[in-house]
Amino acid sequence: MPGQSPDMESYRVARTRAMAHIGASDAKGPMPNLKINNIEIAVEPGTLLLDACARAGFDIPHYCSHPALSPVATCRMCMVEIKGQPKLATSCTTMAMDGQEVLTHSPAAVDARAGVMEFLLMNHPLDCPICDQAGECLLQDYSYKYGSGDSRMVEPKRRYRYEDLGAKIVIDKNRCIHCTRCIRFTQEVSGTFELTVANRGAELEVTTYAGRTMDDNPLAGNVVDLCPVGALTSRDFRFNKRVWYLKPVPTISRHSAMANPIWADVDQNRVWRFRPRPLEGRTATCFMFDHERYRYHRYDLDPTTRPARSLLRGAEASGEQVAEALREAGPAAVVAQGTFGCDAVQRLAGLAAAPDLCFGSGECLYPIRFPALQPSADGIFNRRGLAERGYRFGALEELLERVRSGEVRAVVMLHDAEFSSEGETRILRDILEAARFSLVLEPIPGAFSEMATARLPVATYLEETDFIVTHEGELRCYKKALDPPKGVKPIVEWARDLQKASRTSPV
């Protein structure tokens, strides 16, 4: 919609309105006590029955409901029986009330679900063997669990050709179950309003307004995660991998200001995709920007061409030789970017000649378009973690002076070109040029590795386990997802080796 501010405001307004409509937003008072399948439970006022049932240990199947989107009750899959009420109720829009007796698996509820499944499968193609969603498809899972196993459909199924919604998203309308999650996302979260429902009845279809694409939507990839079936697929991941081969490893998004929790889906020592890893009660973690999502390609390094040798003055050298050259050069300062893990950087700090010779760097700013998704303007997400470990940010000019004056002779730099601004890159280059000895550790080697006196092949963040502290003071861990090639080591190991070698070297 022209003029619409693409931020979370529209989402908040829509969700507040929807929750108010069902009376859940301003619910106050004592905690309602209710019985779910004869289990007594007390929940917060305003809790939806769907959530209350989950808390009591009963998973209710659902398609259209999503914690970050307004409730609409379109799929009718989440119906439960409430004793004393003549009709079944949709648990995604019914509040838990005091004294309620809820039956999630009564014959009426089971029958209703089987009926819904039969309707949903009426036009759904049996193309699971070639569908990207197979293995994580709610329609597949629920039809096994709740379907009747029969179909009374004798008419030919509705057929559409798949369509590109731009370069990132492909839609296969045959598979769509009209849950409208994707449409609500573009209305309530991205505010870009490309998707809509066209036509009625059997002709109902999800499409874009006037042939628009989703290319201008910086959050477009999220509609693929939201789609409970394989109707919306990612051009990037489509037909690349069967999901049951993938092992999800908990990590963080290094390309968001908040280092949001994500899954790195791994197989054969390669990452095949990044996905959000939602934290309970934190709806902003349900989504990620496309610029983060597709950034896994950056870490897909070819082991045959990746530098895996330590170099000292252009010649291959051992870690001990590099450590000795560093020790001989004289007082050393350590510069580390605030996008590296706390453990790695803290160990590297042990190489600094004095505690005040630890400097933080990184000036990458991400434009804020969705405040609730990205509350910090500072793209250097571990700035706080490093500052707490004694690293001083904003003092690179001071270091340059101290290097030029000869007070600091050697510089150890942990760097990733992606997170330095042009101005900062210039100062860092001046520091490297002025230093008598420079040792650069770049997971993805760049110009600084070329100009340094020595360089070590270091692992990327996906190849190590570490943690960061966000701007809000929240600790986030990430696990090793990939094995580095032979010769390439995590920063922690290099720091330990260098310190050990300098302690044992003859003075």
365-424 positions binding ligand SF4, by CB under 6 A: none
- Can residue 181 be called a binding residue for ligand SF4 (CB under 6 A)? yes
Q: Which is nearer to ligand FES, 76 or 175 (CB)?
A: 76
Strand segments (E) across 165-269: 169-171, 195-198, 205-208, 232-234, 247-252, 261-267
Please tell me the distance from the alpha carbon of residue 168 to that of residue 236, in angstroms, as a whole number. 7
- Max alpha carbon distance in the chain (Å)? 89
- Please state, in angstroms and as integers, the Cα–Cα distance from residue 191 to each residue in 132, 179, 183, 217, 434, following that order: 27, 18, 10, 9, 50
* Cβ neighbours of 304 (radius 10 Å): 7
Which listed option, ligand FES, ligand SF4, none, makes contact with residue 180 (CB within 5 to 8 Å by class)? ligand SF4
Q: In this structure, are residues 147 and 121 in contact, taking their beta carbons and an 8 Å threshold?
A: yes
- Can residue 180 be called a binding residue for ligand SF4 (CB under 6 A)? yes
- Can residue 227 be called a binding residue for ligand SF4 (CB under 6 A)? yes
Which listed option, ligand SF4, ligand FES, none, makes contact with residue 15 (CB within 5 to 8 Å by class)? none
- Can residue 317 be called a binding residue for ligand FES (CB under 6 A)? no
Using DSSP's 3-state secondary structure scheme, residue 393 falls into strand
Please tell me the distance from the alpha carbon of residue 32 to that of residue 392, in angstroms, as a whole number. 52
- Can residue 491 be called a binding residue for ligand FES (CB under 6 A)? no
Single out the residue of 19, 50, 232, 288 in contact with ligand SF4 (rule: CB under 6 A). 232
- Can residue 346 be called a binding residue for ligand SF4 (CB under 6 A)? no
Residue 192 makes CB contacts below 8 A (sequence gap 6+) with 4, 6, 186, 214, 216, 217, 219
Instruction: Spell out, one character per residue from 139 to 178, where the chain touches ligand SF4: x when CB under 6 A holds, - when not.
Output: -------------------------------------xxx
Going by the DSSP 8-state scheme, the letter that residue 347 receives in this structure is: H
Single out the residue of 90, 100, 207, 233 in contact with ligand FES (rule: CB under 6 A). 90
Long-range contacts of 36-39 (CB under 8 A, 24+ apart): 36/102, 36/104, 37/102, 37/103, 37/104, 37/105
Q: Of the ranges 70-78, 194-202, 279-287, 409-417, which one interacts with ligand FES (CB under 6 A)? A: 70-78
Which listed option, ligand FES, ligand SF4, none, makes contact with residue 120 (CB within 5 to 8 Å by class)? none
Q: Which is nearer to ligand FES, 49 or 170 (CB)?
A: 49
92-121 positions binding ligand FES, by CB under 6 A: 92
Which listed option, ligand FES, ligand SF4, none, makes contact with residue 75 (CB within 5 to 8 Å by class)? ligand FES
- Please state, in angstroms and as integers, the Cα–Cα distance from residue 172 to each residue in 133, 158, 187, 216, 337, following that order: 12, 12, 21, 20, 43
- Can residue 62 be called a binding residue for ligand FES (CB under 6 A)? yes
Summarize as ranges the residues that interact with ligand SF4 (CB under 6 A): 176-182, 206, 226-229, 231-232
List residues near ligand FES by CB under 6 A: 62-65, 73-78, 90, 92
